Amino acid sequence: MSDTHPSSLAGRLAARFGDTLTLRTVGSETTAELAAADLIAVATALRDEQAFRFGELIDLCGIDYLGYGQTEWDTNTADGESFSRGVEGQAMGRFDWAGRPRGANEPRRFAAVIQLLSIEHNCRLRLRVFCDDDSLPVLPSLTLVWAGVNWFEREAFDLYGIIFDGHPDLRRILTDYGFVGHPFRKDFPLIGNVEVRYDPEQKRVIYEPVSIEPRVLVPRTIRNDADLMQAKAEAADHWREN
């Protein structure tokens, strides 16, 4: 749902940018989706033009829509006495690349979400920009528009592998120098790719392929059924006798 009244933020955006933005307003929150090719021009206008004056970039984060809209836990079999769940095996780290889930609602995989604040107009705006290529996700860097986005873009590069073209120093910021992969991607293995240990002979930290076996932890539901109550009673009797 969108509020396109001329006095509203969505209305001003629609009048200024037309079809360049796809607008959605829910409550007081307005989201504008746009193409990567239009990002710099739109961002500059949102910062400089008097009708908007979004001088503050609050946050930028990456998103991986792999498997978006698919559920892992099936609750259709729950009954009135207990709650049971069955694993469908489509969660993060539980599939190989060939058998990866596909997002039915989002045809493109990677996106960046940008949170803007206009102190002058006391309003906020969310921008969402999809990467055109899933195999090499690239977006233009906003560092020349809002200098404070520098570390946010490095974080999205580190965790999601999104490349920000034009960034002055695009390198990892949270993971180690020898880290392999991007840990917030949905297909990143739960056990990781490498492990680290100190080698006393070489007197340094070395990286090796991960040695632990992958496993899936399934939550268990303890039910107050007759067998469980009988087991507790027998355990209590045994404790009292001894």
Alpha helices by DSSP H, listed for the chain, are 9-17, 39-48, 150-160, 226-241
Taking residues 190-212, report their average pLDDT: 85
Multiple choice CATH, 9-241, 3.40.50.300, 3.30.300.30, 3.40.640.10, 3.30.460.80 = 3.30.460.80
* Whether the Cβ atoms of residue 174 and residue 157 lie closer than 8 Å to each other: no
pTM of the model: 0.74
CB-CB contact of 154 with 170 (8 Å): yes
Amino acid code (one letter) for 205: V
Q: 33-49 as b/e, with b when 16 or more CB fall inside 10 Å?
A: ebebeebeebbebbbee
Q: What is the mean pLDDT of residues 29-48?
A: 97
Domain boundaries, the chain: 9-241
- Given a cut of 80, whether residue 198 has pLDDT beyond it is yes
The residue type of 58 is I
Half-sphere exposure of 7 (CA within 13 A, CB side): 0
The predicted-structure confidence for 45-74, as pLDDT tens digits, reads as follows: 999 999 999 999 999 999 999 877 765 555
* Model confidence band, residue 1 (pLDDT cutoffs 50, 70, 90): very low
The pLDDT assigned to 219 comes to: 55
